[in-house]
């Protein structure tokens, strides 16, 4: 408990499909702050790519968010934005979704690590 | 004399590079394992959500029940805290804490968004997603270690190139 008093807790944000967002929000990660800004985005087939990009960029800029959970299939859509985020905070974690199982070969961090051992594969 | 010194430095750098490369491979394996654990927990949670939907109706467990930006302000009950006891390359790892109260404010129970009398499956789904959250936070810790290890490898490769250029 000493841990709590020493440091302020940071948020986990979610960008995902309906089930991912409903599930993690049930788990207690959701928050609406004083400025009426939420820390989640439900992505469906009608969500514009620019909206996802803007939301991701907004989450990166917020200093109360330390982890961004994003479905891997959505991360694929905004891969260029994710790859350009080099700061360790907030950490971006690609998670699987109901319709798209986890594929390690698409993961941004693992691709970078693989590219370090074999630079030709990064091209 | 300086050539002997350079060759010793090179050996030392290569040794550390070998160890870091091995570490990064182990971290990659661990990250994939933890992500698959999170996937399993999420699958379980999604199955419970589907059962709750079957009982309550299709639109009763959906994004429509989630708070919007016009909803009242509320605080997250699941937050991450830095664990200062576990540090790697100067960075603290994260620890997930689930609380009923956060910084003096009472936290709203998210199950209430879906109604007062909700099926047990919704509670089970919450449990499974909380488990997935624990796995996700552990994965983030491993990812942080992997990133730091990769940065060290890049730095040492530059040192190695400089030594070889002498």
Tally of structural domains, chain B: 1
ipTM for the predicted complex: 0.88
At A10 the three-state DSSP class reads: strand
**Domain of residue B148, residue span:** 2-61+74-104+120-165
Which of A28, A104, A110 is nearest residue B78 as measured by Cβ atoms?
Answer: A28
- Closest approach of chain A CAs to the CA of B1, in angstroms? 33
Q: What is the CATH number of the domain that holds B23?
A: 1.10.287.3240
A62, A81, A47: which is closest to A10 by C-alpha? Answer: A62
Residue A23 has pLDDT above 50, yes or no: yes
Residue B115 forms part of a structural domain? no
Query: Residue A98's pLDDT is what?
Result: 87
Report how far apart, in Å, the C-alpha atoms of B148 and of each of B94, B96, B123 are.
Answer: 15, 21, 38
- DSSP β-ladder status, A40-42 and B101-102: unpaired
B45, B34, B29: which is closest to B136 by C-alpha? Answer: B34
Would an 8 Å CB–CB cutoff place A113 in contact with chain B? yes
Superfamily of domain A9-122, CATH level 4: ATPase, V1 complex, subunit F (3.40.50.10580)
Residue B131 forms part of a structural domain? yes
Question: Rounded distance, CA B36 to CA B142, Å?
Answer: 14
H helical segments located in chain B: 2-56, 120-165
Residue B68 forms part of a structural domain? no
Average pLDDT over residues B66-92: 80
Beta partners for A32? A38, B74
Average pLDDT over residues B25-40: 94
Average pLDDT over residues B124-148: 93
Instruction: Please indicate whether, in this complex, the C-beta atoms of A29 and B133 are within 8 angstroms of each other.
Output: yes
Tens digit of each residue's pLDDT (9 = 90 or more) over A33-56: 888 889 999 999 999 999 999 999
B:40-99 residues touching chain A, CB 8 A cutoff:
42-43, 45-46, 49, 61-63, 65-84, 91, 94-95, 97-98
Chain A residues closer than 8 Å to B62 by CB: 18, 22
Query: Residue B54's pLDDT is what?
Result: 93
Tokens of A53: 């990009």
What percent of chain B has a predicted confidence (pLDDT) above 70? 92
Structure confidence at residue B74 as a pLDDT band (50, 70, 90):
confident
* Range name among A4-13, A17-26, B78-87, B123-132 with the lowest pLDDT average: A4-13
Residue A71 has pLDDT above 50, yes or no: yes
Would an 8 Å CB–CB cutoff place A61 in contact with chain B? no
Instruction: Mutation target for B interface from A5, A23, A119: give the one with most B CBs within 10 A.
Output: A23
Residue B114 forms part of a structural domain? no
Residue B2 has pLDDT above 70, yes or no: no
Would an 8 Å CB–CB cutoff place A11 in contact with chain B? yes
Q: Name B150's Cβ contacts closer than 8 Å, sequence gap at least 6.
A: A112, A113, A116, B24
């Amino acid at each position: 408990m000493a841990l709590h008093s020493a440091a302020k807790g940071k948020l986990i944000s979610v960008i995902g499909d309906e089930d991912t967002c409903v599930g993690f929000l049930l788990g207690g990660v959701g928050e609406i702050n004083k400025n009426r800004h939420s820390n989640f985005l439900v992505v469906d087939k009608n969500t514009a790519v620019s909206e996802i990009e803007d939301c991701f960029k907004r989450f990166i800029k917020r200093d109360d968010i330390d982890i961004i959970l994003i479905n891997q299939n959505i991360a694929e859509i905004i891969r260029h934005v994710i790859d350009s985020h080099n700061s360790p905070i907030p950490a971006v974690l690609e998670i699987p979704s109901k319709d798209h199982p986890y594929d390690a070969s698409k993961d941004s961090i693992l691709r970078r690590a693989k590219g370090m051992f074999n630079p030709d594969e990064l091209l | 004399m300086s050539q002997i010194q350079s060759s010793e430095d090179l050996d030392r750098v290569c040794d550390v590079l070998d160890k870091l490369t091995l570490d990064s491979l182990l971290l990659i394996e661990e990250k994939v394992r933890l992500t698959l654990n999170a996937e399993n927990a999420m699958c379980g949670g999604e199955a419970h959500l589907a059962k709750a939907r079957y009982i309550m109706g299709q639109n009763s467990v959906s994004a429509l029940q989630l708070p919007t930006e016009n909803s009242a302000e509320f605080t997250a009950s699941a937050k991450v805290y830095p664990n200062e006891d576990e540090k790697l390359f100067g960075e603290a790892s994260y620890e997930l804490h689930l609380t009923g109260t956060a910084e003096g404010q009472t936290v709203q129970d998210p199950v209430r968004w879906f109604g007062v009398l909700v099926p047990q499956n919704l509670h089970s789904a919450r449990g499974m997603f909380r488990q997935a959250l624990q796995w996700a936070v552990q994965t983030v810790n491993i990812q942080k270690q992997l990133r730091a290890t990769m940065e060290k490898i890049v730095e040492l490769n530059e040192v190695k190139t400089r030594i070889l250029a002498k």
